[in-house]
Every structure is written in C-alpha cells, then in structure tokens.
Amino acid sequence: MQYDERDLAFAGGGLDRAGHLRGDAAAMAALLADPDTRVLPFWRGKPLLADAAGGGRRLGLLVPGHPALAGAGAPMLLGLAGGAARLAADISGWEPVGEVAMPGSFIDPAEQAHPDLPADHRFAELRGVMTVLDPLEAELAATARSLLAWHGAHGFCSACGAASAPEKGGWQRGCPACGAEHFPRTDPVVIMLVTRGNRTLLGRSPGWPPGMYSCLAGFVEPGETLEAAVRREVLEETGVQVGAVRYVASQPWPFPSSLMMGCQGAAETEALMLDPVEIEDALWLTREEMAEVFAGAHPVVRRPRQGPIAGHLLRMWLADRLI
C-alpha cells in the first residue's frame, strides 16, 4: 500500500516530544529561561496565528513572559523543534472586545486580535488553517489543542473529587489529596472507506454544510477491535454489512482529541437503512462519479476538504493506490 502521510493534516511533522524533559524541574526552568524558547498561546481552542512571508499563515509563537500571556497557567511542553523548546499556554480568561465567535458554524470564521500583539497576529479556528501550516507547526498546534482541552475538562480528580494540578510539563495531572495520577486521553475513532466493486459509500451527518458527504466514522467501544468497530458502525448507521476490513493509515484529530484510524471495508450488502439520528443521507458513488466530485462537477456532493483523512482515503481509492 502506497501513501504519503504529508497529505494528512497534523501528521508527519517530526516533532521531538522530549519526554525525558517533562519530569525534570531544573530542565523545565532552564527551557523557560532559554532565549530560543517560544510559547504558542491558545484562546478558547484557537491557536494564535500570524501572517507568513509570501502569504499564508504561521503559528504566532511568543517569548515566555510576553504581556499577552498574562493570566495563563503553567505552560505545557510540546517538545523540541530544531533543538528549541516549544510550549503551549491557555489564555482563555482574556476577554476580547467586539466579535467573539459564531456559534453553530461548521468552521468559526471569526478571528480575535489581542491588544498586546501586532495587527497580523490573531486567534483563528485550527480547522480553517490546518492545510496552510507546515507539517511541524500543524503537529505542534494539534498537540497543544488536544492537551489544553484535556486540562480544561479534567480539573478535578476522578478518584476523590479534589482539585488536581498539572505535572510533568503538562503531560500529567496529580491529585494532592489522594495521590492519584491522571494522564491525557486520546479517543480511538474508526473512519471507513466502504467499497463494493466499483462503488464507495458516503454519508452526511445532520447539520453539515450543503453538499458535504464523507466516509462513515465512529468511536471504538471498550473491548472492541478496529475491525469489529468498522462493521458495527457501518451496520448501525446504514444497514450495510461489511466483511473483510484492513487498516490503511491514521491521523490525529484535535477536535477535541481523537486518533482517526482509517480502514477499508468490503461491503457484503448494499441496501441502505439509515439511522436518522446519526445519518441524514447516504449514497453509493462509482469511481467515475467520484472523479466528478474531485473535479467539483458533481451535482450533489461537494469536493472533500484537503487535510482530513476521509479525503485522503477517497483520493487513494480513486487513484487505485489502495493495494
């Protein structure tokens, strides 16, 4: 099977996660004092971005102690980039003036400017810029978003209920009351290219933008294999029975923190019986019709977005590169 993971957003950045430094208090203090260290601030799930030379966007990395970081908690160590530390900090307590967000949007287009930062530095939705960041910066942003979201949702010990605190550079929370240790979680998700002969199965969830269809996907349940999860999810959502299943590729998906495991499943039936709670519509498309989709010429289905693994799987199938 041939594929290039650089086609997948948030994958293949080559970040040195420097796990050996996380529990070393002296090393962490030295990193914060190093002039090459930079901090990536987030505001309510949005990373700070800046204009890049020649167009595009880049991460808005700040020096430790920058005024815009006032009120942030302890920075989280993301890793080393070119030997220099990269950290993340959450400044969600800051209240911007003017437009804040657009609830209900598939991708929030609103951007927030901080008064202590240059005009080209703004907080923006990561989904909208994931393909314009270079692979390393995209991996940094995805790692930071998932890590900060976990801390935001796990402020109390699940064993005794006491307030917990970040430890090990942000890669752990410790409970001072009972001594329990808590670690960031990643939710396993299967996303399936379901095929039958010359056709593939696509579906759309309620609330998606018009014309947006994708591969079926769902969370892996406790005690379940990837193969079983693929078969169960497809059957539950569309009534289609799947036989042989094989793994293709994976992608971290920081919304808030999933690992998308791309699989190919061979359908044994084709009649559709949709679960209206999960699926608004589903359809079978031939390779010829999928070519129209990618050309932007299909009357119903819009072209898949660049970056997510669903489009990658469909692109590979269309090119007959899933072997």
| Beta-sheet strands, E only, within the chain | 38-43, 46-51, 57-59, 76-81, 84-90, 112-113, 122-123, 165-167, 172-174, 181-182, 187-196, 199-204, 216-219, 242-253, 258-267, 281-286
Kindly give the pairing relationship between strand 122-123 and strand 181-182: unpaired
Instruction: Give dist(CA 141, CA 43) in Å, integer.
Output: 12
SS3 253: strand
Looking up tokens 């971005």 gives 49
Cis peptide before 256 (omega within 30 of 0): yes
CATH code of domain 5-152: 3.90.79
Q: Do the domains 187-318 and 5-152 match in fold?
A: yes
Report the predicted TM-score, pTM, of the whole model to 2 decimal places: 0.93
Query: How many Cβ atoms sit within 10 Å of the Cβ of residue 201?
Result: 25
219 φ, ψ (degrees, to nearest 5): -75, 145
Over the stretch 184-225, which tens digit does the pLDDT of each residue have?
999 999 999 999 999 999 999 999 999 999 999 999 999 999
**Helix H or strand E segment including 32:** helix 25-33
> What rounded mean pLDDT belongs to the chain?
94
**Helix H or strand E segment including 195:** strand 187-196
| Superfamily (CATH H level) for 187-318 | Nucleoside Triphosphate Pyrophosphohydrolase (3.90.79.10)
Tokens in use for 18? 């420097």
Nearest to 293 by CA among 306, 303, 285, 282: 303
Nearest to 124 by CA among 207, 41, 182: 41
* Contact criterion met (CB below 8 Å) for 2 and 249: no
Give the pLDDT of the chain (323 residues) as one tens digit per residue: 344 565 799 998 999 999 999 999 999 999 999 999 999 999 999 999 999 988 889 999 999 999 999 999 889 999 999 999 999 999 999 999 876 656 556 788 999 999 999 999 999 999 999 999 999 999 999 999 999 999 999 999 999 999 999 999 999 999 999 999 999 999 999 999 999 999 999 999 999 999 999 999 999 999 999 999 999 999 999 999 999 999 999 999 999 999 999 999 999 999 999 999 999 999 999 999 999 999 999 999 999 999 999 999 999 999 998 86
Tokens in use for 95? 């209240």
User: Taking the domains of the chain in order of start, what are their residue ranges?
Assistant: 5-152, 154-185, 187-318
Instruction: Give dist(CA 249, CA 4) in Å, integer.
Output: 10
Instruction: Give dist(CA 279, CA 203) in Å, integer.
Output: 7
